[in-house]
Chains A and B, each alone.
Chain A
Amino acid sequence: MINDRNGMLDEETELTAEPVRKQWAVLRLLSRSYLMLVLLAMIIIGNLVSPDFLTSRNALNVLTFSSIIALLAVGQFFVVLTGGIDLSVGAVLALATVVAALTMQAGLGAGEAAGITLAVCAVVGLLTGGLIVYLGIPPFIATLAMMTAIQGFSYIIQSTSLIYIENQTFVNIFSEGSLLGLRSPVLIFVTVTIIAAIVARYTVFGRQLYAIGGNREAARLSGLPVNRNLMVTYTISTVLAGLAGLLAAAQLYQGSSLIGRGYELDAIAAVVVGGATLMGGRGDPIAAVVGVFILSIIVNIMNLVGISSEPQLVIKGVVILLAVYLSSAGGVTQLARVFGFGSRSGSSGT
């Protein structure tokens, strides 16, 4: 999608004069790559303010924490792409940790536990999708209700405050093992992100989601399976939340209904920082994951320099607003005008 749009601009600008074309090329490049620039800036700042930042131990911390949110963000991206929202993913993550811990406590192996956990999450997703598609409940309300219900449900089935996980195979698969020098959480989220990017960009399903988010009625009138795709999308979101739950459970050696509170908001923030709009029809999964890293690096830097948690929240809020202004709200174009890139269009207004 993104590439296509830029391709269109290429052709359009060909009609105009050479210097003008260069200005637009700069602008275009800026708005496309600004996310990577921001990420790069974050890393440079981190390195400047704290000598601990670019150590492998710290990088591993950031990556490990981010891998969980990244999985949530990829799932959330598909939901947001269709013009919906999924508030239940944090609660589903907690449910997944509890189900995994319970099944292993009951003596099942790591593979079986993971399989059952993901299946439970898929059922939750189908249920959520059904509420939205067949009962016509708005996504915000449907997933809010699911979030509340699942939180309660997880607490009921765990019956104590938390369940320890002693299955070392499980911990190895989802947290401590490594392959080709990459820790398994990193391996898992990178694989998922790449598959998601391919699905979004190159498959019929991805194309249909962009169409549904871009104009749902036009998609319906063109015969696209809108309802089926929405069901699948919410299921993807909860299954990825379940997978994130497996990572969290393995990292913490436990299942608990308290894990993952508020993670859904981090995921949504990352998706919009990555340039998607809540109206649907825009964005891509890789940008959403870059959004995750921008946000978690900021938190990491603030932790390293010893900013306490409340000011951290304020700064994080400001950063989210700034990032969304730059990506979705056309801020790059506006700023470029201020700094003279788009002098042609800027001259008229002032």
Chain B
Amino acid sequence: MQSVQDVVLGLEGVSKRYPGVQALENINLEFRKGTIHGLAGQNGAGKSTLVKIIAGAETPDSGRLLVSGEPIAFQNPNHAQSAGVQTIYQELSLVPQLSVAENITLGAPPRNAVGLVDWAEMNVIAEQALERVGFKLNVTRAVSDYSVAEQQAVELAKALRKDAKILLLDEPTSALPQPDVKRFFEVLRKLADDGVALVYISHRMDEIFSICSEVSVLRDGRHVASLNTSESRPADVIHAMVGESLEGSLAKAALTGEKSVKIGSNCTEQVFLSLRNVSDGGKLSDISVDVHSGEVLGISGLLGSGQSELAQIFAGARERQSGDILVDGRNVTYRSPSEAILCGVGYLPQDRKSHGFVPEMSVAQNITLANLSGFSRLGFIREGAEKERAGGLAKRLAMRISGIDQAMGTLSGGTQQKAILARWLVRSSRALICDEPTRGVDVEAKEEVYELLRDFASNGGTVVIASSELSEALMCDRVLVMARGQIVAELDHSEIDPDGHAIMKYYA
């Protein structure tokens, strides 16, 4: 059925090397007209490098790209775009203050006879582009007025406004609520029917299996498998990604939804941390929660339901307007992260890159950041002690680093998360507040992070997991479901079915 002519984009023997790492090695791939082709792989497998090469942001060391059979060497992203390769990155690249129409036509707004911007024409163009992705918005309003899903549509319309033969999507749903993902997929299918070749990069097996016809798997820079989604199972893909059997593991269970595994099992009667009638003057009002020693508490909700804000309150990172915080029954009501840390509460923020670590500092320096007094004498840092302790933790947490002096910014998401976790272990923190703890973390490291949290709880620690991933809520001893800034349900682990319907029914 598919002929050679259908191949819109081909990669022949593409290799790319960075200092110290072979990012891609002899990649051969073909992307066909009218299909949605999945691309899977753990963090560090080479997906982002591949995307950058196809998008013209990087040049391969060897090998070549063929667009519609013609070899082409992209000089820069603009060159790739004019050749019909459009890319949608994980992070939206919109200017929030500008209008929808201005964003869609950004870079090349329509001009009138005098050379000034033709606003009427701009709005028409924007409306047409949005229509193509099935949305109808007031294009003169600022992008920031719209929801994430609508912004995603604007991003898509922006990409399609230029003639798109190939559309690269790098984890486009990471910020989308579940119902919107469905709608987004319909748009993608329609685009495929229109003859666009889509390349869909995702960590999520359910997504890959619901919209991709074929999935190619990268591991350590090599193309290790291409599977037909109608003839394979998610476990096959995960197997190819990880390179060893994940049978019976948490990550697999979480990913495939085959079973849920509780990571907390040591919940005691002892209340460690309590919120009493806490309000933040905005999203959250009058919230009271008790968390026990040894308990893993899930705070579940669609993205933006307030679970992230609640985690910040727990961590002292968000300003409260009223209400109290109790630790061990004492009213401590901390007002800053540093006070919360003194009470034994550590925080793993959702946005690691901008909140979690100092990219230019070493792994060791990031690990000891919250406990410098423990590694200093008379104000001078004891580097030997620091490195020894950090090195021990790196080993214990199986962090994949070349050395304890490696810069934090160069690590994969999973290793960064482990280092932040290590920061709180160094302090012997008694509670960990985790906001989306496995976002941007690869499959294998995800499982390790869960194991570490399990360890922490079984030693009497308190874990709070704020998450929009249903699979993570399924692992908790107890789940609070949030919607519109309110706690709408409290469920014990035993009340939750393996598919999480018990939780989902409260989302709406």
Contacts and interface: CB of A to CB of B under 8 A. Distances in A.
Interface of A: 1, 4-5, 7-8, 11-16, 24, 202-205, 207-208, 210-211, 214-215, 217-225, 281-282, 344-345, 347-349
A338 B14 CA distance: 24
A24 B19 contact: yes
B396 interface: no
B315 A15 contact: no
A214 B360 contact: yes
A214 B355 contact: no
Given A11-B406, A204-B373, A348-B59, A218 B381 contact: no
Interface in B292-347: 315, 317, 336-338, 340-342, 347
B19 A210 contact: no
B358 A16 contact: no
Interface stretch (B108-116, B170-178, B361-369): B361-369
B369 A12 contact: no
B359 A215 contact: yes
B179 interface: no
Interface in B373-410: 373, 376, 379-381, 383, 402-403, 405-407
30 contacts: A4-B365, A8-B402, A8-B403, A8-B405, A8-B406, A8-B407, A12-B19, A12-B20, A12-B402, A202-B381, A203-B380, A203-B381, A204-B376, A205-B379, A208-B372, A210-B358, A211-B365, A214-B360, A214-B361, A215-B359, A218-B356, A218-B357, A220-B317, A221-B356, A222-B369, A224-B369, A224-B372, A344-B17, A345-B19, A348-B16
B5 interface: no
Nearest to B401: A11
B414 to A, nearest CB: 18
B19 A13 contact: yes
B369 A211 contact: yes
B370 A217 contact: no
B369 A219 contact: yes
A107 to B, nearest CB: 39
B355 A221 contact: yes
A204 B405 contact: no
Contacts of A12: 19-20, 402, 406
Given A7-B405, A8-B403, A204 B360 contact: no
Contact of A16 (B20, B336, B341): B20
Contacts of B379: 203-205
Q: Chain B interface secondary structure, helix, strand, loop or mixed?
A: mixed
A151 to B, nearest CB: 36
A13 B358 CA distance: 22
Contacts of B358: 210-211, 214-215, 218-219, 281
A281 B407 CA distance: 13
B308 to A, nearest CB: 14
B21 interface: yes
Contacts of B60: 348
Contact of B349 (A202, A221, A225): A221
B364 to A, nearest CB: 8
B402 A223 contact: no
A205 B379 CA distance: 7
A117 to B, nearest CB: 27
A223 B381 contact: no
B381 A11 contact: no
Given A203-B379, A282-B360, A349-B59, A11 B405 contact: yes
A12 B362 CA distance: 13
A15 B405 contact: no
Given A16-B19, A214-B359, A218-B355, 16 more contacts: A4-B361, A5-B360, A8-B403, A12-B19, A13-B20, A15-B20, A203-B379, A203-B380, A207-B372, A211-B369, A217-B355, A222-B423, A223-B341, A224-B338, A282-B360, A344-B17
Contact of B403 (A11, A24, A224): A11
Contact of B402 (A11, A204, A220, A282): A11
Contacts of B19: 12-13, 16, 24, 345
Contacts of A1: 360-361
B3 interface: no
The 7 nearest A-B residue pairs measured at CB:
A223-B338, A214-B358, A11-B403, A223-B341, A222-B370, A12-B20, A7-B405
Contacts of A218: 354-358, 369
